[in-house]
Amino acid sequence: MRIPVLFVTFALVLTSGVYASGARESDASTITLYSGRGESLVQPLVERFEEETGIRVQVRYGGTAELAVLLQEEGARSPADVFWGQDGGALGALSRADLLADLPEDILAGIPQIYRNSTGNWVATSGRARVLAFDPRSIPENDLPTSVFDLTAEKYRGNVAWAPTNGSFQAFVTAMRVVHGDETTSRWIRDMLANDVQIYRNNTSIVEAIAAGEVAMGITNNYYLLRFLAADPAYPVRQTFFEANDTGNLVNVAGAGVLKTSTNPDGALQFIRFLLSSVAQQYFTTEIFEYPVVDTVEMNPQLVRYDQLLDITPEVDLDTLEDLEATLSLLRSAGAL
């Protein structure tokens, strides 16, 4: 019988030491990063940072929401120094739970209003524009809606997709509430539902559904399609902005903050500075098709220019976007969630 082989393996692995070493406190030469951003895009940056500063980064990868909930559960006992999340809502929740430390003024200097919150305890690391993705085979360019409010038109019945559980979508709804008020927003949601809006899991599945010809268009974030196109240049979907200043052009953010309980706040700040440096900003733009938060990088030709984007997008305070509760409540009462 060779079952013992298994147990021996087990014992060997057991004694190899990894099993007993729990969460380590950071010292001056390491920081612990909780990253809701994907490993494939974080890893190259982390390596670069480690090379430049000699500070080692221990990374915990996970869903932005899961890690945000984890940080709340850990509270004062958290081993994390930095949280880097995919959307502002998660950082807002941590800010409200009083878990984030104030960032020094100079870090926020030169960063446009749409990329910072007034509390100053977290900062956007890149911008992600809301866009309309569409199937050019079924919707001719001149038949596209000019405003997100046009999507309720009868001619688009059953042909528009959204992802109501998605953080970016909810931030967009919050923006609509801020700009147009709760009543208008609620009516828009009900009209969309009445117009047989198609519900999808997330932005990725919206873009895939358009490619499959299941639905003609969908409101999503700008980079998903661009990443698909990078893998497959023949991908049959296109995307566009609505008219300038339309709420549908909201720029969402990915952002980062330093935990109040950080045992290496200097190292943590260095990491945030690095994320805002032109090296990292150039990387976000070139490699993952997100918008830079500083004006010092060369734009990816597939994105609109930095100053153009600021013209197109509605000016909405990041702080106001943090008010998720009311948005969720509104989505629920309208029957969208």
Partner 1 sequence: MSTNLLLKRRGNLRVPRLLLLPPVLIALAMVIPLWYLLLRTAEADSALLRELLFRPRTLQLLLNTLALTAYVLVLSTAIGVPLAWLTVRTDLPGRRLVTFLAVMPLAIPGYVMAHALLSLGGNSGLLAMLGLSVSRPGGLHGASWALSLYAFPYIFLNTRSALLSLDPGTEESARSIGYGPAQVFLKVIIPLISPGLVAGWVIVTLYTLGDFGAVALMRYEVFSYAIYTQYAAAFDRVYAAALALILVGLTAGPLWLEAHFLRSRYVARVGSGVARRTAITPRGPWLIPALFFVTAVVAASLGLPVLTLIYWMTLRSPLPVLHRVAGFFANSVAAALPAALVAVVMVLPVAYLRTRFPSRIARLAERSVYIGYAVPPLALALAMVFFSLRAVPWLYQSLTLLVFTYSLNFLALAMGPIRSALMLAPRRLEEAARSTGRGPVPAFLLTVLPILRKGIFASLTLVFVMAMKELPIAFLLAPTGFTTLSVAVFSRTSEGMLAEAAPYAAAIVLLSSMFVGLMLRYEGQEFS
- Nearest residue to 135 (alpha-carbon basis) of 205, 217, 200: 217
**136 is a contact residue toward partner 1 (CB under 8 A):** no
Contact segment (CB under 8 A) with partner 1 among 20-28, 107-115, 274-282, 293-301 equals 20-28
- Pairing verdict, β 238-240 and 123-134: antiparallel
Footprint (CB under 8 A) of partner 1, residues 302-331: 324-325, 328-329
**98 is a contact residue toward partner 1 (CB under 8 A):** no
SS3 content of the chain, % helix, strand, coil (to 5): 50, 15, 35
Among 53, 65, 240, 260, binds partner 1 (CB under 8 A): 65
**190 is a contact residue toward partner 1 (CB under 8 A):** no
**160 is a contact residue toward partner 1 (CB under 8 A):** no
CA atoms within 13 A on the CB side of 185: 25
Q: Where are the beta strands (DSSP E) in 13-55?
A: 30-35
Among 117, 152, 174, 203, binds partner 1 (CB under 8 A): 203
**21 is a contact residue toward partner 1 (CB under 8 A):** yes
Contact segment (CB under 8 A) with partner 1 among 108-116, 196-204, 264-272, 312-320 equals 196-204
User: What is the rounded CA–CA span in Å between residue 109 and residue 125?
Assistant: 14
| 272/324 with CB nearer partner 1 | 324
Exposure b/e, 7-26, CB count within 10 A at least 16 = b: eeeeeeeeeeeeeeeeeeeb
Q: Where are the beta strands (DSSP E) in the chain?
A: 30-35, 56-61, 82-85, 123-134, 160-162, 198-199, 217-221, 238-240, 251-258
Among 205, 263, 277, 285, binds partner 1 (CB under 8 A): 205
CB of 319 to partner 1, least distance (A): 16
| 221/249 with CB nearer partner 1 | 221
User: What is the rounded CA–CA span in Å between residue 88 and residue 72?
Assistant: 16
Among 63, 104, 158, 181, binds partner 1 (CB under 8 A): 63
How many angstroms separate the Cα of 207 from the Cα of each of 37, 109, 133? Answer: 20, 36, 7
**140 is a contact residue toward partner 1 (CB under 8 A):** no
CB of 122 to partner 1, least distance (A): 14
**239 is a contact residue toward partner 1 (CB under 8 A):** no
Footprint (CB under 8 A) of partner 1, residues 255-284: none
| 106/335 with CB nearer partner 1 | 335
Phi and psi for 11 in degrees, rounded to 5? -60, -40
For residue 291, give the DSSP letter: B
Among 83, 86, 252, 256, binds partner 1 (CB under 8 A): 86
**229 is a contact residue toward partner 1 (CB under 8 A):** no
**209 is a contact residue toward partner 1 (CB under 8 A):** yes
Among 77, 98, 105, 154, binds partner 1 (CB under 8 A): 77
**332 is a contact residue toward partner 1 (CB under 8 A):** yes
Residue 291 pairs in a beta bridge with 127
CB of 229 to partner 1, least distance (A): 11
The alpha carbon of 263 is separated from its chain's Cα centroid by a whole number of angstroms, namely 26
The alpha carbon of 242 is separated from its chain's Cα centroid by a whole number of angstroms, namely 20
